[in-house]
């Protein structure tokens, strides 16, 4: 499980290099041809009602030991966890093109998922008990096409996440508050969970915060349907955080083009609307902060099996559209920056220590209400 650390896995190397060369030399069409499955979508049955009662269906949950989320960077002492129940949905770790959804027993894909959980979900372990489900995620290519098969693949993945969430709600301590978190595809599924299973229900009162990271959320067309406001203050509970990291000069055209062509959760076009941008260094909306307030970025070692935490390396500021800019001299974390100076892969690790502190601060605020 410790063979690769954080985001450094073979598929991501292939993905980053392919994206970089395809974008610079041939444009998006070549990337789509390389990564979008050419096979028909294959419908699969829904999970049995009790599927997630099986602990084998989880990467992490109470009762499991030595899980990926238990990892901590060198030199950081382990503390008694807080009282939150944390539901974390990992990002895309399946990049296959022979099918639209990952198989649950795909060891290579599951290994990559555990890599992400070590570098992302571990930031929440101090706040409480982390639950991280396995699910039949959509392949990376599903985000590069508007084909109906892509929508079907994402729907299938969401149904698994929703089934896992139902088990989480049923088995988690009902007296404990809840933190929702995810990244990329996982964050997309969280937006649907919020709309369908949290907003307007008694469960909403238990939400400490929802970390919808690496996925755009429109302030104008999405927030109302999600049932929570954006986090405006560092000590605020019951709110949504979101950011998408870019070094400068930033070229977010790939995201903007898809975002502007999409429809918000309220049925209105998202075109031109600002995105939620929480500065993870301050925990506030649309803010700027110097590198000096960054409590720790994860820096992998040369063997790529562990990491240290280095403070004061990365600044952050939200631009007018809602992208999080990290300056023009970010640290060398590896060759996995995506086209347009997109540091998507590093959304959590750039600010790992601040995310950890943010979750604890919002949990304390919730407990004082």
8 A C-beta contact, residue 89 and residue 161: yes
Task: Specify the pLDDT at position 334.
Answer: 78
- Secondary structure string (H, E, C) spanning 77-117: CCCCCCCEEEEEECCCCCCCCCCCECCCCCHHHHHHHHHHH
Q: Rounded mean pLDDT of 242-255?
A: 95
Task: Specify the pLDDT at position 306.
Answer: 76
> In which residue are the tokens 């598929």 written?
11
pLDDT of 296-306, one tens digit each?
999 977 655 67
Task: Specify the pLDDT at position 6.
Answer: 39
pLDDT of 316-346, one tens digit each?
999 999 999 999 999 988 777 888 999 999 9
3-class secondary-structure state, position 214: coil
For residue 124, pLDDT over 80 is answered with yes
From CA 53, how far away is CA 168, in angstroms rounded?
9
From CA 44, how far away is CA 61, in angstroms rounded?
26
| Half-sphere exposure in the Cβ direction for 243 (13 Å, CA) | 31
8 A C-beta contact, residue 30 and residue 17: no
Contacts of 29 (CB under 8 A, 6+ apart): none
8 A C-beta contact, residue 3 and residue 108: no
Task: Specify the pLDDT at position 8.
Answer: 41
Task: Specify the pLDDT at position 336.
Answer: 77
Q: Which two tokens stand for residue 347?
A: 């959304």
3-class secondary-structure state, position 63: coil
From CA 210, how far away is CA 195, in angstroms rounded?
12
Would you list the domain boundaries of the chain?
10-368
Q: Please state the length of the chain.
A: 369
29 burial level (CB within 10 Å; 0-12, 13-18, 19+): exposed
What pTM was computed for the model? Answer: 0.92
């Amino acid at each position: 499980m410790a063979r690769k650390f954080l985001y450094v896995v073979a598929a991501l190397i292939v993905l980053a290099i392919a994206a970089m060369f395809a974008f610079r030399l041939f444009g998006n069409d070549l990337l789509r041809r390389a990564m979008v499955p050419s096979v028909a979508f294959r419908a699969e049955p829904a999970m049995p009602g009790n599927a997630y009662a099986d602990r084998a269906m989880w990467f992490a949950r109470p009762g499991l030991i030595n899980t990926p989320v238990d990892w901590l960077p060198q030199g950081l002492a382990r503390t008694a966890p807080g009282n939150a129940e944390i539901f974390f949905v990992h990002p895309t770790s399946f990049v296959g093109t022979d099918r639209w959804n990952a198989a649950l027993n795909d060891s290579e894909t599951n290994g990559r998922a555990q890599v992400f959980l070590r570098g992302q979900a571990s930031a929440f372990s101090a706040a409480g008990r982390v639950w991280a489900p396995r699910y039949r995620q959509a392949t990376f290519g599903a985000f590069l096409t508007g084909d109906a098969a892509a929508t079907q693949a994402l729907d299938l993945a969401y149904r698994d996440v929703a089934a896992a969430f139902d088990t989480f709600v049923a088995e988690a301590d009902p007296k404990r508050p809840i933190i929702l978190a995810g990244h990329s595809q996982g964050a997309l599924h969280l937006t649907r969970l919020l709309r369908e299973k949290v907003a307007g229900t008694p469960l909403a009162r238990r939400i400490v915060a929802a970390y919808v990271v690496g996925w755009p959320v429109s302030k104008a067309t999405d927030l109302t349907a999600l049932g929570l406001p954006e986090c405006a203050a560092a000590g605020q509970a019951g709110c949504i955080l979101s950011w998408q990291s870019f070094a400068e000069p930033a070229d977010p055209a790939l995201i903007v083009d898809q975002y502007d062509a999409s429809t918000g959760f309220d049925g209105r076009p998202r075109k031109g609307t600002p995105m939620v941008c929480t500065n993870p260094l301050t925990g506030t909306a649309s803010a700027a902060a110097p590198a000096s307030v960054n409590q720790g970025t994860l820096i992998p070692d040369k063997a790529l099996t562990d990491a240290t935490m280095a403070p004061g390396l990365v600044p952050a500021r939200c631009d007018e559209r809602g992208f999080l800019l990290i300056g023009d001299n970010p640290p060398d974390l590896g060759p996995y920056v995506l086209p347009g100076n997109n540091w998507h892969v590093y959304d959590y690790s750039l600010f790992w220590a601040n995310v950890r502190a943010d979750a604890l601060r919002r949990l304390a605020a919730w407990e004082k209400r």
